[in-house]
Amino acid sequence: MKAEYVIVGAGSAGCAMAYRLAEAGKSVIVIETGGSDVGPFINMPAALSYPMSMKRYDWGYQSEPEPHLGGRKLACPRGKVIGGSSSINGMIYVRGHARDFDYWAENGAHGWAYADVLPYYKRMEDWHDGGRGGDADWRGQGGPLHVTRGPGDNPLTQAFIKAGGQAGYQLTSDYNGEQQEGFGPFDATIWQGKRWSAASAYLRPAQATGNCEVVHGTAARIVIVDGHATGVELTDGRSVSADAEVIIAASAINSPKLLMLSGIGPAKHLSEHGIAVVADRAGVGQNLQDHLELYVQMAAKGRHSLYKYWSLLGKALVGARWLFTKTGIGASNQFEACGFIRSKAGLDYPDIQFHFLPLAVRYDGVGAREGYQAHVGPMRSKSRGAVTLNSADPNDDPSIFFNYMSHPDDWDEFRACIRLTREIFSQDAFTPFACEELIPGVDAQSDAALDATIRAHVESAYHPCGTCKMGSADDPDAVVDPMGRVIGVTGLRVADSSIFPRITNGNLNAPSIMVGEKMADHVLGKQPIAPSNDAPWIHPDWKTAQR
């Protein structure tokens, strides 16, 4: 098996790269462990909680015991299926804030400022406003990735946006446009009632060119000869040769794992596992970041929430309608309202995100009842963790230690998240619906009581990133340069969320795909798309006002 380019991982960034390389006439082999993404659990948007907990589709990773969360092990789902995590995620589409990318560029990822990445977001999008307003000048049309909006007609969903305005916050018609800050409708990678994953948007069109082949197998190591990557060895003994380059797009968990198995990483750690050192890169596996979130959960009066569909019969009717018409409740991920706010004055852009859900339920579908909830958490935790090897066996899971809530600022920020959410839920817009607070509960008012709630109830938002940090070639902690090339080896790149220097605002699927889009131009040696001159909205009183 041989191609000009071998991509490890058919996930968000890998699929985008495969399409752009195949479109340019290059021969591409994509290596993917997981199987088909065909099936109702993946393709029905409202069924999103199922695939991320199914062994068939998910690697099933867990964190190590987290000392600041009472020793809990937290779930870390990663897609093991065609489309990768874009086939099992919540389908929420958030570009990130302009300041996120400016930070990247200012810290060594030259050429990745907001002005540089905005044209790639526009190139990849086919945006549909769904009649709910928007910022068309800032959005893309005709790209591979359909981005849509749910109807937003649930009265609880409408109340959340209204309550944000009543609390004195901005309203924004398009948080992916000029103004992220405020409350408004969510965007989603859903098209014609079905999940629109990276496999649908990119991989199948890549295969249709005749230049892209998918090989099912698990990468054991990158074959490196005299400091140059020449191919990939699979766990079953097969090998795939690359005439031009090997590109790793295997996730923030598996990309550093594969680099370390191939001899690229912290020399001491590799030697402990008997792995010959090819390139001593201290940053491989380090800098692990994620978003944590808590459900501030309310019981509700009336029958306005999604709970009326929660019976076996209700689910059957929703499923049947979706199966035959691709419409109704099943055609939405039900995350149709959101908010991005600043926790205090002196911050120039939002550091808190809200996902609103018109139902009281855990993310795994347990404990549903009549109610509603906001998933809330800080965007830029200062805590850092690491992905390391448990052994030199490629079939062994890596060790994943997020080190959640290890920085004291995290606790201040999380308490602010809870108190600000309560204030929003106390607005007049929720008066017809509000009943009792379930989580944290009205008795949890002191810092100590809120900390206990946080310790017991926070969960990952499933946004791991940062473990193969992009930076300047002379940065000892950088793993790849701004063109994605692994420092210390030739013919090898990384392109996925692992290269993020710092986590971006919101959900990570959109920036992961953007990385694949932009990195494809670097691989092809093309001149990057001309930077944009569009300046994002920043609150005029950010220095002195929180809202």
How much is the pLDDT for 406? 98
* Residue 415 DSSP SS3: helix
**Dihedrals φ, ψ of 456, to 5°?**
-85, -30
Q: In whole angstroms, give the CA distance from residue 85 to residue 253.
A: 12
What averages of pLDDT result for each successive group of 10 residues across the chain (547 residues)?
A: 98 98 98 96 94 94 98 97 98 98 98 98 95 91 97 97 98 97 98 98 98 98 98 98 98 98 98 98 98 97 95 95 97 97 98 98 83 98 98 98 98 98 98 96 98 97 98 97 98 98 98 98 98 96 98
The Cα 355–Cα 477 span in angstroms is 33
Q: Is the pTM of this model over 0.85?
A: yes
Cβ proximity of 98 and 138 under 8 Å: no
What SS3 state is found at 335? coil
Token output for 146:
């359909």
- The answer to the question of whether 81 is labelled as a binding residue is yes
Nearest CA among 71, 89, 70, 69 for reference residue 79: 89
pLDDT at site 344: 97
Q: What is the rounded CA–CA span in Å between residue 235 and residue 386?
A: 24
What pLDDT, on a 0 to 100 scale, did the predictor assign at position 133? Answer: 86
pLDDT of residue 208: 98
Distance CA 262, CA 359 (A): 46
463 carries an active-site annotation = yes
Q: What type of residue is 252?
A: A
Going by the DSSP 8-state scheme, the letter that residue 73 receives in this structure is P
What local confidence, expressed as pLDDT, does residue 362 receive?
A: 81
Which single residue is written with the structure tokens 């910022």?
135
Residue-range domains of the chain with CATH? 2-39+198-284+467-523 (3.50.50.60), 151-185+292-378+406-457 (3.30.410.40)
Phi, psi angles (nearest 5°) of residue 180 = -75, -40
| Cβ partners under 8 Å of residue 46, min gap 6 | 318, 322, 329, 330, 331, 332, 333, 334
Number of H helices, E strands in the chain: 13, 24
Alpha carbons 542 and 547: distance in angstroms, whole number: 8
- Comparing CA positions, the residue from 433, 418, 430, 415 lying closest to residue 166 is 430
Instruction: Given the residues 97, 463, 522, 539, select the one marked as catalytic.
Output: 463
Residue 328, Cα to own-chain centre: how many angstroms?
26
Q: Helices marked H in 426-500 — which ranges?
A: 447-457
Q: What confidence score (pLDDT) does residue 131 get?
A: 83
- Tokens standing for 250? 């295997």
